[in-house]
Amino acid sequence: MDDETIEVQSNGVVLGDEGCIYLCLHDSVLDFAKKCKDKQKTVRFLTPIVPDIYMDDLVKRIEDLSRIISLKVTFNDYGLLHRCSKLIENKQIIPVFGRVLTRSMLDCNWAKRLLTNENDKVIAGLYEYSLMDNEKIKLLEEFHIQEIEVNYHPEKITELSEVVKLPIVIYNNQLLSVGRVCFSARYQQLKLPNCAECMECRKKLQFSVNKKWSKKRMCYDEPDEEFKQYMSDLYVQGNVVYRNINDLHLDLQQNVIEELIYA
């Protein structure tokens, strides 16, 4: 990322990764942050689910970044959120609730099909943002969360904004799943953690459905058109499965903002 790139980042600079601890700990993150310091940009640092063996390293990385720049940290791991509670209390970082923590059944491609035989009350309770819950709201307040990141669902996002009363950050994709072992590294036979040195793992690997496994029949079946539709617009990037959003129509309200740019 050069100075010119930083200059056009109207919504701020996004570093780190929602799915990969190695990218978060890579030396380039600190180099980018130092460039951003001169531009007086607030940096959003995405963090993933954190393995225990890397927890101390990532906490130190957050501490180091907070000394360099104004830092928003997107938390996708409750353990890391707890570990950084002092940094939050001392206002050294701006805490953000990430999409791994805000996922719900609403994000499942075939959720409506799964809920077909349920009554209206059950559907209303399950087919909703997970933050539409008093206990989750209390958690946001406890950790002084300043923003939340969610997958974009136009029919639900206005109601969410009225309940949480915090800035809502959306992206031009939807996060569906995070693997325990990196999808891209396994598929491309990349060696961990050296894969963070190359950009192969950042390639978008599109889904192509040719057949599906029938657990009942114990054999492969030809997928029908409905199933193909469920899998359309899905891709793997690094350790995360995403869905493209092809028609992002957002009526920006006072507490709903767009965040579409990665550095």
Domain boundaries, the chain: 3-173+246-258
Share of the chain above pLDDT 90, in %: 35
Mean pLDDT over residues 147-172, rounded? 88
Looking at residue 255, what is its pLDDT? 36
Q: What is the pLDDT of residues 189-205, one digit of tens each?
A: 888 888 887 778 888 88
Looking at residue 95, what is its pLDDT? 97
Looking at residue 40, what is its pLDDT? 67
Segments in the chain forming alpha helices (H): 3-7, 21-24, 27-39, 52-68, 78-83, 85-89, 99-102, 111-114, 120-126, 134-142, 157-164, 183-188, 225-231
Residue with tokens 């923003």: 147
Looking at residue 71, what is its pLDDT? 93
Give the residue with greater pLDDT, 41 vs 170: 170
Residue with tokens 């959306």: 170
Looking at residue 24, what is its pLDDT? 93
**Whether residue 36 has pLDDT greater than 90:** no
Looking at residue 12, what is its pLDDT? 64
Q: Which fold has domain 3-173+246-258?
A: TIM Barrel (3.20.20)
**Whether residue 49 has pLDDT greater than 80:** yes
Looking at residue 133, what is its pLDDT? 87
